[in-house]
Structure formats: C-alpha cells, structure tokens
Amino acid sequence: MTTAKPARSGFSGWLSGRLPALTTEALALVALLLAAVGSSPLWALPAAVLAVGLLAWTWRGALRGGPVSSGQTIVSRILLLAGAYVFSAVHGSLGPALAVGVGVAALAILGEPLLMAMSRSVYPVAANLPGTGVRPLLRPNTRRAVLVNGAAVLVALVTSFTELPGVIALVVATAALGLVGFTGWQALTRVGARHGSEAKLLATLTAYEPVFLVHWNAPAGTAYQIAMWLPYLERLGKKYFVLVRSEANFNEVVALTMAPVILRSGLTEIDDVIAPSLRAAFYVNTATRNNHVIRYTNLTHIQLNHGDSDKVPSHNPVFRMYDKNFVAGQAAVDRFAANGVSMPAEMFAIVGRPQVEHVAIATEPISSIAKPRVLYAPTWAGFYTDSNYSSLPVGYEIIKAMVARGCSVVFRPHPYSQRSADLTRECERIRALLAEDRKVNGTPHVFGAKAETEMSVVDCFNASDVMVSDVSSVVADYLYSEKPFAMVAVSAPAATFTDEFPLGRAAYVIDAYGGRVRGLDVILDDLLGSDPLASTRRDLKKYYLGDIPADGYVQHFLDEASRHL
C-alpha cells in the first residue's frame, strides 16, 4: 500500500511552522541592537512595536480559550526584555525597580519549560469509577501563566519607553512569577494525586468487578467508532469499563457514557486494568495498540468493527488475531475467503447490525415520489491510495444533476473529509450549490452542521428517499431500508466494479473511474424512476445484514455477546 506524498518537505514544513516565531525573534533582536547603538530613543521603537504586534498575532486565539505557544516565543520575549533594560540603561531612565522587574519577568519566562513539563505529567487516570471519584484530574491552566508573562514583557517595554515608574513593571513581573509558581504547585500536587490513583487502580477495579472491557484507540475526532456500540454494550446489563490510550480519546468517551473510563497509555500499564473478574474484551477497530490487550489469553477477544463494507480494510488479515469476529452477515465471512484471507468458520459470529434497528423501511416505490430527497454521503480519501473511494472530486457534478431534476439533498460527507484540502474544497462547492438553490428556488436542502452533527446517520437515512454514496459501510446499513441507492465507481470502471465490490449488485453504479462521470442521466432515470433493482436489494439485505427476524434483530446480537460473558 502506498500513502500520499506529504504536502511539504521536512525542512520547509519546519520553516513554515517556525516562521512567525523566527520573525518575532529577528525583530526583537533588531530592537535590542538599536536600543544599544541608536542615537535617538525612537530608533528601537518601530522594531519593538512590530515584534510585540507579531507576538500578539501569534497568540490571537488564546484570549478565546485556544492554545498559546510558549516554547517558540521564549527567545523573542527574553530579547524584548533585554531591549527594555538596555534602552533604559543607555538613555538614562533605568531605575532599580525596573531593573529588578525585568529580571523577575525573565525568571518567570525561563520557568515556563519546567512548568509545561510538569503540566504534561498531569493527566486523568479514571472517570466514573467507584472509589476514585467521578471527576478526573484537570491539567493546570498554563495558558494563563504564559499570557501574564507576556503582559509583564509589554509593561516592561512601555515603562522603559515612557516616564511611567519602574515599580509598575516590578509589580506585574512579581505577579507573573507568583502565578508561575502557583501553577507549578498545582501541577505537583495533581501529579501526586495521579500517582495515588494509579497505585490503587487495580484494587479499585477488582472491587468494581467488571465482566468485560471495551478497548479503543483512534485519532481524535473519531468517537463515532465507539459511540455506535456503547448503547448496545450497555444493554448487556453487565459491569464494564472503556479502556482508552490517549487523553483525547478519554475526553471523547467521558462525554459519551457514564460507564467507567480508564486511561492507560503504555504497554506495561495495561496490567493495572486486568481485573480477575474480566471475561472478555471488545474492540471497535483494528488499531495497532489492540495487541497490547490481546496478549491476555484469559480473555475472549471479540472484534466488532465500526461498519461493514467491501473496502480493503474490511478483509484485513489482522482480523485473524481475534477469538471472535462479530459480523453483520454472511457477506463479511465470504469477503475474507474471496480475498485470500483464510479464517475458520468458528472465528465468525453473524450478529446483524444492531445500529439499524431504527432505520425506517421504504413504504412506497421511488417512482411514486414526485420530488425525492437524496442523501449524498460520500466517504473520505482513506489512509492509503488503494483505499481511496471518495466520489467528492466528482460530487458537485452528481449533485448538480440531482438538483436539476428537482430533488432536495441531504449532504453528509465523512468527517475525515476535512483532513484533505482538496476534499474540503469540494465539500464547500457542494454546500454553496445547495445554499444558492435553496435561496433561489426554496428547495429544502439539508447540509452543514444540521446534517453533519445535529442529525445522526440514521436520521439522515430516514429523512431520505434515495442515497448516493461510495464504497462505504453506510451503503450496507442503508440496504436495511430497502430504498434505492447508487454507488460511485471511483477505483474501478463500472463494468468491473461489482467484481471487486459485490454490494454494487444492489446499487445503480455511477461510473466516475478516472475522474470523469459517464452515463449519469441513464443511471438517474433508473435510480429515481423504474428502480429495477428493488428485488435484488431485498435479497442482498439478508446476505449483508443477516437473515434475522426484525422483531428480534438487536436481541440476537445481545444473546451472542452474552454467550462470552
């Protein structure tokens, strides 16, 4: 597999990231030199003002709660303090209060690296776990300390260039140093509290007596992977906890559940959570760190995954390391064999897709709907070029044709689409098209935050009469509705598309191979009109989503999971 080339080389990327800081340092150095050799007090002023202005621009998001750069601005702030000292000394206004104030401010700034290091050692261990308290430890507010240090630099500069008494700079600098010290004390006490929680973690979990754990490690912003399974795991009625491996994942899961959430980052820390009562571990993706838990042979390891599709990752040989793979239907089992991944039948359990329990089934043929609503749910570009199935590069053309036919559109791109500048640009083009049509013709399109965050995937399914998507797990889930759908063939020509992606047999395949859409009008005539694939969809629904009675669909999953607990 090949990955996309990085947008910048290592050096150019480093230079781009450091350019504002380097420019600020250069301006601060110029101000210092001009303060030392300039015959006029005003020589150093422009460079100092520009340096302070650029520093403020660098920190522009901090006042709204955003991050503030400390390490990259230490040199520039020390140079500005030195400039204030030299300017006052050369031009005769340096008093003891200002001199001491400059020194105290410099000491506060130089203490920031140690403060940041201590703060990084403050991270949560557990939330919602009886015996440890409900609220996890909070990291000290280092951003506030850095901003006050910046204010001390500004006050020192203003004092040196004006007739203001130096005691003002001393008072502000002393306050800054005091805040650094107080924040450091907070960090030390909270690190001690973390060590205390870690020391008794196994004993606390043993007393809690969990029956299973859910292991999740993923990039930030992908909580949908675990969010889709938590409601059903909770319905098992057994004590459990979620084990995460990063602070970002910890915060995401805490927002999703009242079940205990445990953060253990390192391999050797996993021993702290393997309580004697544990019987099984569930996984919702194939993250590399899953093998940190799989090594515990006393547990039954069950892979749930976070969707079923014909994508390459859905038949990855790594699935063989789990004791059980819960799959939606026989199609998933056959997919492994068809792609040369040999797995014995006992490694699989067909459990359906409980997440589709609230998907509404079509009640009338698409041809009877005068102005159908189309859900456009394109996937993203994938981590590798051989798993790039996104139709977004041609999505504008497809949606424009839908709009021309009087359709309303629900536009819900994959959340990872924003990771690509090209796909982000295509999303914006489609949103602009829908916004303009809604403004001019009053068509009730749904897009933006409404479709992407306020509505769930199932809400989008139920709000639509037909769907256009790619090789994606949403296609198999949409199959449950028995509504017509189209798949966009990006990685293979339409003529051979179903050889690689069998679910395409139930879809109207839009040929976009090579980046050019072909025969779109004919496909849309079938998709929105006669719908000759209606019976095929009903047959493949059982193959992909399990031949399970609707009234016991979710219970089938719960019964199978309970067998291992």
Please check whether residues 191 and 230 belong to one and the same domain: no
Has residue 554 been placed in a domain?
no
d(CA 317, CA 44): 65
Q: Is 468 helix (H, G, I), strand (E, B) or coil?
A: strand
- Amino acid 387: pLDDT: 53
Instruction: Convert 513-532 into a string of H (helix), E (strand) and C (coil).
Output: HHHCCECHHHHHHHHHHHCC
Has residue 471 been placed in a domain?
yes
Has residue 38 been placed in a domain?
yes
Range(s) of the domain holding residue 34: 10-198
Distances (CA, A) of 123 to 250, 350, 520: 10, 39, 53
Please check whether residues 278 and 188 belong to one and the same domain: no
Which tokens in the block code for residue 1?
A: 């597999």
d(CA 361, CA 380): 27
Has residue 68 been placed in a domain?
yes
Task: State which of 297, 330, 352 marks the end of a domain.
Answer: 352
Residue 261 pairs with which residues in a beta bridge? 127, 242
CA dihedral sign of residues 15, 20, 21, 22: positive
Please check whether residues 283 and 173 belong to one and the same domain: no
- Amino acid 326: pLDDT: 96
- Amino acid 58: pLDDT: 85
Q: What is the mean pLDDT of each run of 10 residues along the chain (565 residues)?
A: 43 61 87 82 85 86 74 89 88 84 94 91 89 70 91 92 88 95 93 88 95 95 92 97 95 94 93 96 95 96 86 80 94 89 92 94 93 93 64 94 96 88 93 96 95 93 96 90 95 89 92 91 94 94 92 95 96
- Amino acid 307: pLDDT: 78
Say if residue 298 is exposed, middle or buried (CB neighbours under 10 Å; 0-12, 13-18, 19+): exposed
- Domains of the chain: total: 3
Say if residue 20 is exposed, middle or buried (CB neighbours under 10 Å; 0-12, 13-18, 19+): middle
Distances (CA, A) of 215 to 104, 261, 306, 398, 452: 48, 10, 13, 39, 26
- Amino acid 35: pLDDT: 84
- Amino acid 7: pLDDT: 42
- Amino acid 135: pLDDT: 60
Please check whether residues 54 and 129 belong to one and the same domain: yes
- Amino acid 8: pLDDT: 46
Please check whether residues 186 and 245 belong to one and the same domain: no
Has residue 101 been placed in a domain?
yes
- Amino acid 216: pLDDT: 97
CATH of the domain at 342: 3.40.50.11720
CATH of the domain at 412: 3.40.50.2000
Please state the φ and ψ torsions of residue 165, each to the nearest 5 degrees: -65, 140
- Amino acid 459: pLDDT: 96
- Single-letter residue type at 242: V
